[in-house]
Amino acid sequence: MVKITVDGKVLEVDESKNLLEEILSQGEDLPYFCWHPSMGSVGSCRQCAVIEYANDEDERGRLNMACMTAPREGARYSIEKAAKFRAQAIESIMINHPHDCPVCEEGGECHLQDMTVMSGHNYRRYDGKKKTHTNQYLGPFIGHEMNRCITCYRCVRFYKDYAGGTDFGPQASHDNTYFGRWQEGPLESEFSGNLAEVCPTGVFTDKPFSKHYVRKWDLQTAPSLCAGCSVGCNTNPGERYGTLRRVVNRFNDEVNGYFLCDRGRFGTGYVNSDERITVSMTRSAHDAAPHLASTDEARSQLQAMAANSIGIGSPRASLEANFALRELVGAENFYAGISTNELAMSRQILDIYRSRPVNIANIKDIEASDAVLILGEDVTNTAARLALALRQSVRNLGKKMARDMKFPEWQDAAIRQLTMDRKSPLYILSAHATRLDDIAARVKIGTAANSARLGFAIAHEIDSSAPAVNGLSADEKELVTTIASALKEASQPLIISGTGAMSQALIAAAANIATALNGADKKANLALVSAEANSMGLALLMESSDNSLDQAMASNAKAAIVLENDLYRRAPASSVDSFINGLDQLAVLDSLKTRTGEQANLVLAAGTFAETSGTFVNYEVRAQHYYSVFKPVDTIRSSAFWLSDKKLSELTQGCADSISGGAGIATLTPGEGFSVSGMKVPRQQHRYSGRTAMRANINVHEPKQEQDEEGILTYSMEGVSALKDATVFNTAWAGGWNSNQSVFKFQSHTGAALKQATKGHCLVENSVSEKTWSEVTDAEKVTGDFEVFPLYHLFGSEELTANTEAIKAKATSAYIAINEADASKLGLQASDGVSVEHNGAVPYIIRSSIAPGTVGIPVGLKGLNFRDLPAAISLQKATDWATPSEWHAANIIVSDKTSVNAENGGEA
């Protein structure tokens, strides 16, 4: 820390940070554009100018960019004295900027508006002709209005430098500077949506939001979570007129920082979809005519059948809903709703986190890791936000080089120049090329069983007390020693694996490596990706039970209550069919219509994440609370409501009490008594418009505000929104700072944790020091022509988000991926389809990375159910084949050499 004087005020600041972030951290206002807390400084916009004085006598000083200045002990600075320069700088930036705030979607939450006002450039003097540009079509997610650009370069620095995208960039120079693609077309990066938040103006906008746009202040918002995968990114979704309009990032330094992936940002349109179940229905038998069930009727029917029912839970339903179902049917009748293997894997992860001397890695840990091994998890498609963090981890070598040369970490461009393409080591063992291969030191293709074998060998190489593997080839030995020594040498190694490859051996191998790395003064980082938003929550409820879906289906039950789960996505269709046929009564609680729901004789309309509150437990076993954003129509209720008479908070408490180490679950909200200035926190901003008019076409009387069952937030404008207090952070807004940039006002230090808000609660407190090992398991011999491995699609593999229009536009129907030699062995011509043993025919693509004799099958895409397939299958050229209408090969974003026939749906 050093002492500096800013306009006469003495401040104590961190000299390793730049002056801009230090000034902001002190609560002062200093305008900026190009600097970003996660991306560092480049000094390009000239907006953060301050005067720096050489010594006490110096009265003139010199102009410096605060973001490019390291605070010096005893130095004097002035923000005020540079005000004129900043006003001129913004005036020149604004010369070509259109006067279109009223029709610009950034308006009202625009950093450029805020900074212009703050800099005091109130009237335009330039009346010449403005430079205009042509906009591009950038795909279904992002709109483009180049005329609004102020050439701050943040977009490129995010898209290319930070997120590793290659299909976007700056073009031309001076007045012609342009940010776009070299040819129009959909942006390929899985993180493109962040452009809408990173760009300080309205150049890049959220396109699905544009279709039903409202101003930020007209949105009803709440602190929520992304339900898209097991990362559990924190979000602020916004609603108006009963429809969910958009999702923006909510800062949580340990889970998602400033960024979301595109599944999370653009994947919630299903909440508004026609496929929603909006009323509860009942019928006396499978083939009887259904009729509407009132709330009371539906609830009492469910209660009536509960006594003789089994309950099937779900990894996509809240902890409370699963718990309520378990209470309702009794623990012995409660089944996990996932296959035996999947349940075993989630429990295995819990066990590893609890019993091994490892550090469970959050994104900060991942970003700080200086050697990484990824074991069989396609992170970009199964836990995308982590892939973005991994891209930062390989920069640690460069940061170290910078430290050694004594220049600060925030010098972004300089460090990139210094580093060139040197990277900290990252190794990938996978069945196919992945989207992180470009930053990998080595990629080894192999089946999960083989990757596990190598993983066990690496563990043994690091610590010889770990079980050994026999029969490695010379090449394999070389790889094993290379990876082992890189991990050993690293000061913070990280092992990533997960349930994606569906292999317990792989997870065990990852655990052994992380254990082996444990040393006197270091613990390895370990991140085990789980399958869904609440997979770990479900595992916590199943800790002393082996009840899987397979067992439920073998239970001879006559009645079943299925919670937010389409069993046809979880098990072979034939087994589900016979299970359902054997039931006398089937109740399904869900938000969307499913094949399982269609066969039920009682369907209960359940709310989505946006309409309900609850707890999800993420891949780190971090419990996080999400608040309902809005009240749905009265016939839609939360699953927890349908299943239990208890209040949500009582159910949460019940979870906390019954889960071992679960006490933290009950601490995730400030509780019913919480108030700001004696009032509850309103979901609607004080500027929320049209409240008395918005329903006037129905009734001129304003209805009573909806009641909130949790009693923390209200569905109204009344009350004091938490402007200086982020305990319940429902929108980022501070005086003079209308955009998301205002978040620094709530942080303990610019870029660091929020002052009050909970980061969630990690339910595993690991203080293990003793090493234990998993045994090397011999791979089961797989018989069949082609060994099957799963492929994941960020857009399409997740059940709920796949029902969103924007996601559909980026998805495709099912296909198989094989190697070229195998394709020609099968005699496949360009436009052929492939018959998959007993499962109809699908298109195919050739991928150079895929090993001969193996076939990649996407999980969750329409047209082929992964769970219907055995471990190995035979393939044949399809006869009588027509390309499915939802086949869009161009939406398959991969990084190995791939070919697909144009007629085979290769349109853009």
Partner 1 sequence: MNNLIASTAIKARQLTEEEIHEIEHEKTHYPYTQAVGLEALKIVQKYQGWVSDESLLAVSEYLDIAPDELEGVATFFNMIFRRPVGKNVILLCDSVACWMLGCDNLKEHISNTLGVDYGETTKDGLFTLIPVPCLGACDKAPVMMVGRETYTHLSTNKIDQIIAHIRDESPVELDN
* Residues of the shown chain interacting with ligand FES in the complex, contacts defined by CB under 6 A: 20, 32-35, 43-48, 65, 67
How far apart are CB 43 and ligand FES at their closest, in Å?
A: 4
Q: Pick the closer one to partner 1 by CB: 383 or 576.
A: 383
- Which of partner 1, ligand FES, ligand SF4, none is residue 201 near (CB under 5 to 8 Å by kind)? ligand SF4
- By CB under 6 A, tell whether 142 contacts ligand SF4: no
Measured CA distances, 24 to 29, 293, 405 (Å) = 6, 56, 27
For the bound state, the minimum distance from the C-beta of residue 170 to ligand SF4, rounded and expressed in Å, comes to 8
What is the closest distance, in whole angstroms, from the C-beta atom of residue 263 to ligand SF4 in the complex? Answer: 4
Cβ proximity to ligand SF4: between 155 and 479 the closer is: 155
If the CB atoms of residues 363 and 681 are measured against ligand SF4, the closer one turns out to be 363
Interface residue with ligand SF4 among 216, 299, 385, 793 (CB under 6 A) is 385
- Could you tell me the CA-to-CA distances from 237 to 244, 599, 738 in Å, in that order? 7, 33, 17
Please report, as a single letter, which amino acid is at residue 582: G
Closer residue to ligand SF4, CB minimum distance, 232 or 455: 232
Q: How far apart (Å, rounded) are the C-alpha atoms in residues 152 and 35?
A: 9
Q: Which of residues 218-237 bind ligand SF4 (CB under 6 A)?
A: 226, 228-229, 231-233
Q: Is 261 in the site for ligand SF4 (CB under 6 A)?
A: yes
- Which partner, ligand FES, partner 1, ligand SF4, none, binds residue 435 by CB below 5 to 8 Å per kind? partner 1
Query: Which listed option, ligand FES, ligand SF4, partner 1, none, makes contact with residue 892 (CB within 5 to 8 Å by class)?
Result: partner 1
* Binding footprint of partner 1 on the chain (CB under 8 A): 164-173, 176, 178, 181-183, 185-186, 188-189, 420-421, 435-438, 845, 889-890, 892-898, 900, 906, 908
- CA 548 from chain centre, in angstroms, equals 27
Q: Which two tokens stand for residue 589?
A: 């609680």
615 part of the interface to ligand SF4, by CB under 6 A: no
**Rg (Cα) of the chain, in Å, rounded?**
28
Choose which of 155, 321, 486, 605 interacts with ligand SF4 (CB under 6 A).
155
Place of tokens 């596990």: 452
Q: Work out how close the CB of 630 gets to ligand SF4 at its nearest, in angstroms, rounded to a whole number.
A: 20
> β-strands 585-590, 602-605: how paired?
parallel
**Contact range with ligand SF4 by CB under 6 A, out of 21-29, 143-151, 278-286, 833-841:** 143-151
Q: Report what 43 binds from ligand FES, ligand SF4, partner 1, none; CB cut-off 5-8 Å by kind.
A: ligand FES
Whether 393 contacts 494, CB under 8 Å: yes
Closest distance of CB 30 from ligand FES, Å: 9
Give whichever of 583 and 845 is closer to partner 1, judged by the CB atom: 845
For the chain, the maximum distance between any two Cα atoms, rounded to a whole number of angstroms, is: 93
* Site membership for ligand SF4, residue 153 (CB under 6 A): yes
What is the DSSP track for 33-61? SS-BTTTBB---S--SEEEEESSSS-SS-
Verify binding: residue 250, ligand SF4, rule CB under 6 A: no
Cα separation, 620 vs 359, in Å, equals 10
The neighbouring-strand residues paired with 427 are: 373, 442
Binding of ligand SF4 by 384 (CB under 6 A): yes
Binds 111: which of ligand SF4, partner 1, ligand FES, none (CB < 5-8 Å by kind): none
Nearer Cβ to ligand SF4 (257/682): 257
908 contact choice in ligand SF4, ligand FES, partner 1, none (CB below 5 to 8 Å, kind-dependent): partner 1
* Residue 856 C-beta: closest distance to partner 1, Å: 14
197's enclosing H/E stretch is: helix 194-198
Distance CA 22, CA 11 (A): 9
Task: For residue 563, give the H/E element and its range.
Answer: strand 559-563
Give the interface segment with ligand SF4, choosing from 132-140, 197-205, 666-674, 830-838 (CB under 6 A): 197-205
Tally of residues, the chain: 908
Task: Among 51, 196, 260, 892, indicate the residue that binds ligand SF4 (CB under 6 A).
Answer: 260
How far apart CA 76 and CA 802 sit, in angstroms, is: 56
From the list 849, 287, 335, 271, the residue with the least C-alpha distance to 611 is: 271
CA–CA separation, 396 and 423 (whole Å): 7
- The CB-based long-range contact list for 807-812 (8 Å cut-off, 24+ gap) reads 807/263, 807/266, 807/267, 807/269, 809/139, 809/140, 810/139, 810/140, 810/141, 810/186, 810/262, 810/891, 811/861, 811/886, 811/888, 811/891, 812/861, 812/886, 812/887, 812/888, 812/889, 812/891, 812/892, 812/905
- CA 408, CA 68: separation in Å to the nearest integer? 10
For ligand SF4, give the closer residue by CB, 20 or 487.
20
Asked if 154 touches ligand SF4 (CB under 6 A), the answer is yes
- Determine the number of helices (DSSP H) and then strands (DSSP E) in the chain: 26, 39
Smaller CB distance to ligand FES: residue 93 or 298?
93
Instruction: For the CB of residue 366, give the shortest distance to partner 1 in the complex, in Å.
Output: 18
Footprint (CB under 6 A) of ligand SF4, residues 469-488: none
Nearer to ligand SF4 among residue 261 and residue 665 (C-beta): 261
Q: Is the backbone of residue 539 left (phi > 0), alpha (psi -120 to 50) or beta?
A: alpha
Q: Which helix (DSSP H) or strand (DSSP E) does residue 377 occupy?
A: none
Task: Give the residues lining the site for ligand SF4 (CB under 6 A).
Answer: 149-155, 179, 199-201, 203, 226, 228-229, 231-233, 256, 260-261, 263-264, 383-385
